[in-house]
Amino acid sequence: MAEGMSDPVECHSGYEYAERPVALHWEGERLEIEAIEAEWRIPGGKRFRVRVKDGRVFELFYGELYDEWRIHAV
């Protein structure tokens, strides 16, 4: 997760929080998500594999228990 950021992932929320990520903050940059390549539920949260506009791929994890996002560059 990005140091010192309370919301490293911006997401669309409809009937529940974190339905679809739309942007992420990585190394001081705001990166818009171009495509969600995969998404799945795991015990305690959700995972997304996303591609940003410059082609980089990230895996995002939203932990529902602690209301926390984690970002990993792939």
**Residues spanned by the domain of 45:** 9-73
Asked if the structure places residue 29 within a domain, the reply is yes
Q: State the pTM of this model.
A: 0.84
End-to-end distance of the chain based on CA atoms, in angstroms?
Answer: 14
Asked if the structure places residue 62 within a domain, the reply is yes
Asked if the structure places residue 1 within a domain, the reply is no
Asked if the structure places residue 50 within a domain, the reply is yes
Helix (H, G, I), strand (E, B) or coil at 27: coil
C-alpha 20 chain-centroid distance: 8
Span 24-62, pLDDT tens digits: 999 999 999 999 999 999 999 999 999 999 999 999 999
Asked if the structure places residue 28 within a domain, the reply is yes
Asked if the structure places residue 49 within a domain, the reply is yes
Query: What's the CA gap between 71 and 74, in Å, rounded?
Result: 10
User: How many domains are contained in the chain?
Assistant: 1
Question: Among 11, 56, 50, 47, which Cα is nearest to 33's?
Answer: 50
Asked if the structure places residue 14 within a domain, the reply is yes
* pLDDT for residue 12: 85
